[in-house]
Amino acid sequence: MKIGIIGSGSMGSGIAQVAATAGHEVYLCDKNPEALVKARDKLLKILNRLVEKGRLDDQESKAIFGRIYFKPDFDSFGDCGLVIEAIIENLKIKKSVFKELESIVSKETILATNTSSLSVAAIAAACENADRVIGIHFFNPAPLMKLVEIIPAIQTSEKVVQKSSELIQSWGKLTVLAKDTPGFIVNRVARPFYGEALRIYEEGIADFATIDWAMTELGGFRMGPFTLMDYIGNDVNYIVTETVFTAFYFDPRYKPAFTQKRYSEAGYLGRKSGRGYYDYSDGAEKVLPNKEEALGNQIKDRIVAMLINEAADALFLNVASAKDIDLAMSKGVNYPKGLLAWADEIGIQTCIDRLDHLYHEYHEDRYRCSPLLRRMAKAGKTFYHYA
């Protein structure tokens, strides 16, 4: 099967590398010629680095690169079996692209969007044959991240869902099935990791370094929330937060933080700008955390309880299965363990008590406990049954 990819940024190029490594002919399209040249040079550099590290031999590297064709238009997509769009998160632009695609590709071609937070149903509505449109959401960097979210729109045929899942799995990826709701699994469930950390900072409970220390050293996360936001880019992370907040009809649980907005407005975007929550310039003084264990556990327990609540609510509202939610969070964003399994470990009632404590203190709807947690505690149930 020939694969078409629209958008030669880091995500589009990464997906192209994955597909070409799996043996497909790939047509990587970008209407910006400079972006195409940049993508070509960057991809060649990545493949050469893999050869240097011994992960590929020179022949494999050349074969992968030789299977990727850099194109300025969609004309080569006529006989592609799958086309994946990986462009800017703008619904109007995406719909325009899908409408144009339909006049070029065959009737059997699957049209996929790599959107991280927009409605797949709305994108599919731009097509006459909406049943062949699906969300296939990779995580950055696509060649390294194992997880891919498969998101059928309400219009998507079951055949397209099955074929898409099998194809992506054949590329060595783990797929999870998610309902077409804002943020899908990962970008929905992960919101409190950032949002509650920002809230703790805004309340003056702890600084960036202390919160990050609590989540890595005591919580077992690979990166603290502020280090991770600096890595992702404050502008990107803020836009996703704002999109999810708006899409959920301004549910207070997803409310963006003024701190992140101001840092974005100031151009403190993180590593890519040299300054974010931390200063990445040469010779910058490293901020040391307050390693008071009681404070660290307070921070960790609060953020983890909010994450568990979000995961439980996603299950309650049938966004995905318990297994797929835990797989998504452990493989998609490298959480130390699945959140629902973590809830079992902590104790369902303990999670409820922590959430209720926050709700009684603040009387804010963002701290409301998922009905599923209350029902499970009442029935003495856990998310998983152990032999």
| Residues known to be catalytic | 116, 137, 149, 187
**CA dist., res. 115 & res. 149, Å (int):** 10
Supply 113's token pair: 């969007």
Q: At 149, give phi and psi (nearest 5°).
A: -85, 130
In order of 161, 312, 341, the CA distances from 317 in angstroms are 20, 9, 18
**Backbone Cα Rg of the chain:** 22
**CA dist., res. 344 & res. 315, Å (int):** 14
In order of 36, 41, 42, 213, the CA distances from 31 in angstroms are 8, 17, 17, 43
In order of 12, 91, 357, the CA distances from 68 in angstroms are 12, 27, 55
Supply 373's token pair: 């947690």
